[in-house]
């Protein structure tokens, strides 16, 4: 954005050019010289190059690792392609025009590097080639989860125990134990509810956590109500479970059965894929009975774990008692 570019450039105005040049030419200034101890020199030289290469691949503006295309100015100062646009094609170090010069040598050096996943502290043991690292980290099973709360754009991330405590303490979400549920949703004037998230309930079942969503939103020109379940974990684990939802009244009922979606999929992605129990407003008001001016829906359901049948290979349900 234009405002980002202005901020980026103005923040560099206050930095001494010599200071930036000094940080980029670290390899000559940081290498120790001790003619009296050749062994120390050999030890230092064996460690410094790896650190130096990593620092060379760090963008001087955003400090992130640089990936092709890596650009440089006529004086050899490098910058990542994203920041090249932010600084309006001006080198942040010497203020010369950057042009379209690629630093092919640095790109080639990066190909020889192998780096650990940035989620190593969370348990990921894998080491990847430099150019494969970003792709892996985007899908790493050890990466933190986003907060599944749908009532606001919550930026909190963390592991499952942390998010469960966050939902309970910060979002005041109802917590329940058990694999069956029976909820009643009441709205005095449902016609005023558009694109509204109504409720999120968390269930502890089979030692796992599940999020039950119930909300109203506009589907085309028709307002609808939707209920669906998300699993607090990865998709591969979510496939081990199934759930059913049932809503009805006046001698009629709708039943939905499916597999809970992982919270790796955003709330909006699940909702927009219509992967859940969808109730048209007229049908919802019919289920509510009375004069149809007040919404009174009772949604029941259960969660079960699919078990592999050792004889036939088919999955058989294991209902939680």
According to the model, what pLDDT value does residue 89 have?
86
Q: Is the dihedral of CA 226, 227, 233, 238 positive or negative?
A: negative
Q: How confident is the model at residue 28, as a pLDDT?
A: 35
pLDDT tens per residue across all 321 residues of the chain: 333 322 222 233 333 333 333 333 333 333 334 444 444 444 444 334 445 677 888 899 998 888 888 999 999 999 998 899 889 888 999 998 888 899 999 888 888 888 888 898 888 998 988 888 888 998 898 999 999 997 667 899 999 999 999 999 999 999 999 999 998 888 776 666 555 556 789 999 999 999 999 888 877 777 888 999 999 999 999 999 999 999 988 888 999 999 999 999 988 899 889 999 999 888 888 888 877 777 888 899 999 998 754 444 444 455 544
H/E segment holding residue 184: strand 180-187
Q: How far lies 230's CA from each of 106, 165, 206, in Å?
A: 44, 17, 14
Task: Encode pLDDT of 37-65 as tens digits.
Answer: 444 444 444 334 445 677 888 899 998 88
In contact, 218 and 194? CB cutoff 8 Å: yes
Cα–Cα distance for residue pair 130/47, rounded to 1 Å? 19
Judge contact between 57 and 105, C-beta under 8 A.
no
pLDDT value of position 68 = 86
Distance (Å, rounded) from C-alpha 292 to C-alpha 242? 33
- Residue identified by tokens 């094609």 is 89
Query: What is the distance between the alpha carbons of residues 263 and 159, in angstroms, rounded to a whole number?
Result: 12
| 139 SS3 class | helix
Give the chain's domains with CATH numbers: 53-138 (3.30.40.10), 148-305 (2.60.210.10)
Compute the distance between CA of residue 311 and CA of residue 178 in angstroms, rounded to an integer.
29
List CB contacts of 87: < 8 A, sequence separation 6 or more: 5, 8, 9, 12, 61, 79, 98
DSSP state of 79: E
CB 243 within 8 A of CB 123: no
Residue 2: what pLDDT? 36
Residue 256: CB atoms within 10 A of its CB come to 20
Q: What is the pTM of this model?
A: 0.67
Q: CA gyration radius for the chain?
A: 28
Rounded distance between C-alpha atoms, residue 107 and residue 111, angstroms: 7
Residue 39's pLDDT is what?
46
Distance, in Å, from the CA atom of 114 to the CA atom of 21, rounded to the nearest integer, reads 27
- Residue 53, C-beta contacts closer than 8 angstroms, at least 6 positions apart: 109, 113
> Cβ(200)–Cβ(172) under 8 Å?
no
Cα 81 from Cα 107, distance rounded (Å): 13
């Amino acid at each position: 954005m234009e405002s980002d570019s202005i901020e980026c450039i103005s923040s560099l105005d206050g930095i001494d050019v010599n200071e930036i040049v000094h940080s980029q030419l670290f390899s000559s200034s940081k290498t120790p010289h001790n003619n009296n101890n050749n062994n120390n020199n050999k030890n230092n030289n064996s460690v410094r190059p790896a650190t130096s290469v990593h620092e060379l691949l760090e963008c001087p503006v955003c400090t992130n690792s640089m990936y092709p295309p890596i650009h440089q100015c006529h004086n050899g100062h490098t910058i990542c392609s994203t920041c090249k646009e932010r600084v309006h094609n001006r080198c942040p170090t010497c203020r010369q025009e950057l042009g379209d010069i690629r630093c092919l040598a640095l790109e080639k050096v990066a190909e020889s590097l192998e780096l650990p996943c940035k989620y190593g502290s969370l348990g990921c043991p894998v080491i990847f080639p430099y150019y494969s690292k970003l792709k892996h980290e985007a899908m790493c099973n050890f990466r933190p989860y986003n907060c599944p709360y749908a009532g606001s754009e919550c930026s909190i991330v963390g592991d499952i125990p942390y998010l469960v405590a966050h939902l309970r303490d910060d979002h005041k979400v109802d917590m329940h134990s058990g694999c069956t549920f029976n909820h009643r949703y009441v709205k005095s004037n449902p016609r005023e509810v558009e694109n509204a998230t109504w409720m999120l309930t968390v269930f502890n079942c089979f030692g796992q956590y599940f999020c039950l969503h119930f909300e109203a939103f506009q589907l085309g020109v028709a307002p609808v109500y939707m209920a669906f379940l998300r699993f607090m974990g990865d998709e591969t684990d979510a496939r081990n479970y199934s759930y059913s939802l049932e809503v009805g009244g006046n001698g009629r009922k709708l039943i939905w059965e499916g597999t809970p979606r992982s919270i790796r999929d955003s709330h909006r992605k699940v909702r927009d894929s219509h992967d859940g129990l969808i109730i048209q407003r007229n049908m919802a008001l019919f289920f509510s009975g009375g004069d149809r001016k007040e919404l009174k829906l009772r949604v029941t359901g259960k969660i079960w774990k699919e078990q592999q049948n050792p004889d036939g290979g088919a999955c058989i349900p294991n209902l939680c008692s």
